[in-house]
Chain A
């Protein structure tokens, strides 16, 4: 059951859009910075299959510039 955290960098000017896009995904909790163009994303998926699906969905987001992982944990 993987838990990861990231710094999520939006495409220029799309912070609000990225916040909305990621908030709408399952297994994601997001916290925007108040004074910088970056969000914290914490993902918590129940199994590897869901983790892969989530990664795929994140890659599709047009508002997402890049993700920098800051923490990773699996129970395996």
Chain B
């Protein structure tokens, strides 16, 4: 036990107050033992958002001396109210893996050797200068992450876009939520959900669209179950391509054939109109109708370009368009019975039911990801079930700060912290805040993620700095991009915490501080920004990613733009960054408030969080009565006519199975952290392929036997799982991607949504045989 005199006195003060309160108010209860808990042997508790998923649970980390020794849920955090999932409860153990990278490494004679950190940072800056001189500013790039802390992404954007002048800034959130962004932008003109997690407590019906929420957002799923338990009428409908734990907990599980969610969503709207369930008072005042291009391709070729063109139509044309989507027609292609389609439509169409739709990768990692987002918004817009408590179309984010860092800071090729690079006004604002000449900021986007790695392969990009992500496991059609990164004349810098297949291709590895080893901010799915102070010391030579960027920026001559002191730089960066969002549609909370509280939602206006956007009752940015969709020039939400189109690659006689990929509860992404937590590793020690039991019988495959999965791009051998936690239908296999010993992305296809550029990890064609 390690307790200072001061903290002892403070705990005496606290306990005196508690005793006095109990005397005055018998039965009084205080849930938030924020600092010192005498009953825990003097452990100090500090708040932080969880390191893992986009739910954004609040944790209290228990510190003894310099070590994080315990975790509990933060009862002050409204997200999880003191509950965590299995990853959250074991999260502090990710700091202490035996092979933690604590020293900088430089490749010499094809071997990574330890060097002083200064030498490594000098080399990074030197190589950047050299590359820019020889090949131009667009030959350098940075690839970051939805697990970047907000200051990391901000520093990266300022350095590369503002100072160097290249838009080669991308983040792995392109692979996880870009379609959610383009869905929001095309339907509403502004990004991020309009609702909040309180919708869970208010809804009567939940429909999960292709997401295994029980495993991927378990704390939120628990809130749904708690709602259902407290009220007998609440229903959960699981609409998915395979049976999972979410299906098992749902009231009804409806399976659909991959890609046909597009058709089913349209069929639901057809039924809503046919049954006269349209909320006309809402639609007439707040909705307009539009169509875009069709047959828009899949992006599998280099230099693929697509630009949509919106055309205004009317309800009559929309109704005519939906005639191709009667439940009876859609049943034939989707495998979903007309009866089930009508049932789903009746839930949405019932004016007495509040409906929340949740989705994540099933809809976003989709070659028509933008379209399917539009189509689920269409359902909510036709019925007016939006922006009110319990009525919520909600794309859940996968990563802890894909919203906070990538979407809000704008760490994508076309984005700035406010607006896009193509807008002169946005460039001028960025130039003013960043103190750079406006000519520095290039008005032309360069590459989205897949194209950026193609450019690396081609040699158009020669330098890539990768932070907080593992693309040598996660890039689809992986072999091409891994081979590309290893080509002659490429210089790879990887900021990492543990050795990974990505650090294996690095020329320089910079040792990064992890999570609570540095002060930072995350922004979760419901627009909640959460702060953590530095809770434990950084080990060895590890350095916060933000400070790594600052060190390199100064070596490149940008000290003026990166002037901050080591003591206050995170606060200084926050204060600079929030200037970009200083308006009632996006205002962020001040630093001091974020430091004190367990998360604050934006827009934060006049000291109040905005829980439901576009609803004048809750949103001070509204300038109309009742609803105001102020993101669009016509001040309306847009219903889009989006058709069903086939995926890029479907099963055929040679490759007769669908391959679907995803995650499991116990592991986070590529497992570089969770596989080093013994209890999580033992729970699921290796990856596997889920096979339908009938298919397995036919192929002579038994549980645990080796199976070869092959596509036109590559093959892999792994063990079969039959009748496990996930059960695909006949003709589909599923592989979780957390295990770097099984690089399933050597098999997947780099087709993407032409609008969002987000790849589809859920659908390609494979053959399956006994190995």
Contact = CB atoms under 8 A, between A and B. Distances in A.
Given A29-B34, A44-B10, A20 B20 contact: no
Contacts of A3: 6, 9-10, 13
B24 interface: yes
Interface string B583-625: 0000000001100110000000001000000000000000000
Contacts of A35: 27-29
Contacts of A4: 13
Contact of A42 (B17, B30, B596): B17
B25 A38 contact: yes
Interface of B: 6, 9-10, 12-14, 16-21, 24-25, 27-35, 592-593, 596-597, 607
Nearest to A19: B597
Interface in A8-29: 20, 23-24, 29
A36 B10 contact: no
A7 B24 contact: yes
A36 B31 CA distance: 12
Contacts of B597: 20, 23
Secondary structure at the B interface, as helix, strand, loop or mixed, is: helix
A33 B30 contact: yes
A34 B29 contact: yes
B593 A40 contact: no
A70 interface: yes
From B21, B27, B31, name the one whose CB has the most chain A CB atoms within 10 angstroms.
B21
Q: How large is the interface on A (under 10, 10 to 19, 20 to 34, 35 or more residues)?
A: 20 to 34
Contacts of A32: 30, 32
A70 B16 contact: yes
Complex A-B, nearest 8 residue pairs according to Cβ-Cβ distance, in ascending order: A5-B13, A71-B16, A23-B596, A5-B17, A71-B13, A70-B20, A40-B17, A70-B17
B16 to A, nearest CB: 4
A7 B10 contact: no
A33 B17 contact: no
From A1, A31, A41, name the one whose CB has the most chain B CB atoms within 10 angstroms.
A31
22 contacts: A4-B13, A5-B14, A5-B17, A7-B20, A20-B593, A20-B607, A29-B34, A29-B35, A32-B30, A33-B21, A33-B25, A33-B29, A33-B30, A34-B29, A35-B29, A38-B24, A38-B25, A42-B14, A44-B6, A70-B13, A70-B17, A71-B13
A35 B32 CA distance: 12
Given A5-B16, A40-B30, 7 more contacts: A1-B6, A7-B20, A31-B33, A36-B25, A40-B17, A40-B18, A71-B16
Interface of A: 1, 3-7, 20, 23-24, 29, 31-36, 38, 40-42, 44, 68, 70-71, 73
A20 B18 CA distance: 20
A29 B34 CA distance: 9
Contacts of B16: 5, 70-71
A71 B20 CA distance: 10
Given A23-B597, A42-B10, A73-B9, A68 B29 contact: no
Contact of A7 (B9, B17, B31, B34): B17
Nearest to A28: B596
B121 to A, nearest CB: 35
B380 to A, nearest CB: 30
B592 A36 contact: no
Nearest to B14: A42
Contacts of B21: 7, 33, 36, 38, 40, 70
Contacts of A73: 9, 12-13
Nearest to A37: B25
A30 B184 CA distance: 38
B24 A31 contact: no
B21 to A, nearest CB: 6
